[in-house]
Amino acid sequence: MIARRRDTKAAYPTRRGMVAIFTVLLLGLGSCFGAPEGFARDVGSGQVTAYLRGVPITVYTYRPTGCSDPALLFIFHGIGRKASSYQKSARSLADENCMIVFAPLLDKQNFPIWRYQLGGIVRDGQVIPREEWAVWVVADLVTWARLEERRFNAPYYLFGHSAGGQFLSRVAAFSLPKDATRIVIANPSTYVLPSTDEPAPYGLGGVFSPEETESQLRAYLQLPITIYLGEEDTGDENLSQSKAANRQGGTRLERGERAFEMASSTAKAKGWDFRWRLVKAQNIGHSAGKMLRADEALKAFGAREPELAH
């Protein structure tokens, strides 16, 4: 069944102020009149348009049957920008784990490589103002979806594969979505390394003051991140070959392993809590669909936190 379309304008002058006001207004209206008409509540696949900071974003949705208390699952597509196919690939995971899927299409016009894969932190070698960073779109999407569902504290998961994984690495490092249940970064070309020396957007260098940088690094390592790798993702198709990318390793598999090892070693050396996981899917290469349907996906997305490492 196709969900009803609804265009919800939610362009925020500030990242938090208007969201809070809008939430209070909807809570008041909802208590008087019930759920606003047009919310995408029908079981099955749908398509809606979210207006975030004045930018229309097509979002492909999927709602499983028999799911009374769902979590929210946000899926970020690869370089082909096939958001609808990512939604389809996530259905079995959503069915098994009671999740509503939101797969936004972040188009080339509004989200070119420097704003999508690299998070919109740096342009032409210069760090741009924080309020203009593209990584904030994820917080806006989560707020929008919670309002759509009228579940203002719904738990949520983030998954990005390939280009989407690059984007989520920047989202994690620079916007710190601490309320995410789990952030699954799958098979990206590059990461934000847990380094204060490597310049952004491949590390945390050159963005914050020295005190802020240390605090940002610590918070980054304490996020519930899963580095989710296909054990056979060793090819070079669409693999970033910049100097900064090649410093991370020769293949996506090597780069993921190195990013995790650096993160683990840094947290241990500093005596910080560490919540990252490394999960590898056997016999899988560079395929979002196979990664989402793999047996290892349950471990990658597992809501139960591991014991904090020190």
55: pLDDT confidence band, cut at 50, 70 and 90?
Answer: very high
Per-residue pLDDT, 29: 37
What is the percent of the chain with per-residue pLDDT over 70, rounded to a whole number?
84
What number is the average pLDDT over the span 25-37? Answer: 37
Q: Distance of CA 13 to CAs 59, 92, 305, Å?
A: 22, 37, 35
- 63, 91 in Cβ contact below 8 A? no
For the chain, give the mean pLDDT: 88
Please say if the pLDDT value at position 34 is more than 80.
no
Q: Is the pLDDT of residue 51 over 50?
A: yes
Q: Residue 32: what pLDDT?
A: 32
**pLDDT at residue 60 above 50?**
yes
The model's pTM is 0.86
Tell me what the mean pLDDT of segment 234-248 comes to.
97
pLDDT-derived band at 229, boundaries 50, 70, 90: very high
Q: CB of 240 within 8 A of CB of 190?
A: yes
pLDDT confidence bin for 41, thresholds 50/70/90 = low
Read off the DSSP letter of residue 29.
H
> What is the per-residue burial (b if ≥16 Cβ within 10 Å, else e) of 47-78?
bbebebeeeebebbbbbbeeeeebbbbbbbbb
Name the residue ranges covered by the structural domains of the chain.
Answer: 7-301
pLDDT of amino acid 279: 98
Arithmetic mean of pLDDT, 2-13? 35
Q: Model confidence over 64-123: pLDDT tens digits?
A: 998 889 999 999 999 999 999 999 999 999 999 999 999 999 999 999 999 999 999 999
Q: What is the pLDDT of residues 276-302, one digit of tens each?
A: 999 999 999 999 999 999 999 999 998
Per-residue DSSP letter, 309:
B
182 contacts 303 by C-beta, under 8 angstroms: yes
**Contact (CB, 8 A) for 113 and 146:** no
Q: What is the mean pLDDT of residues 134-147?
A: 97
pLDDT score of 27 more than 50: no
What is the predicted pLDDT for the residue at 309? 54
Q: Are 185 and 233 in contact (CB under 8 A)?
A: no
Question: Residue 7: pLDDT band by 50, 70, 90 thresholds?
Answer: very low
pLDDT of residue 43: 82
Q: Tell me the DSSP string of 192-225.
A: --S-SSSBTTSSSBTTS-HHHHHHHHHHHHTS-E
CA distances from 276 to 98, 266, 272 (A): 23, 12, 12
Confidence of residue 306 (pLDDT cuts 50, 70, 90): very low
> What does the DSSP 8-state code read for residue 152?
T
CATH superfamily of 7-301: Alpha/Beta hydrolase fold, catalytic domain (3.40.50.1820)
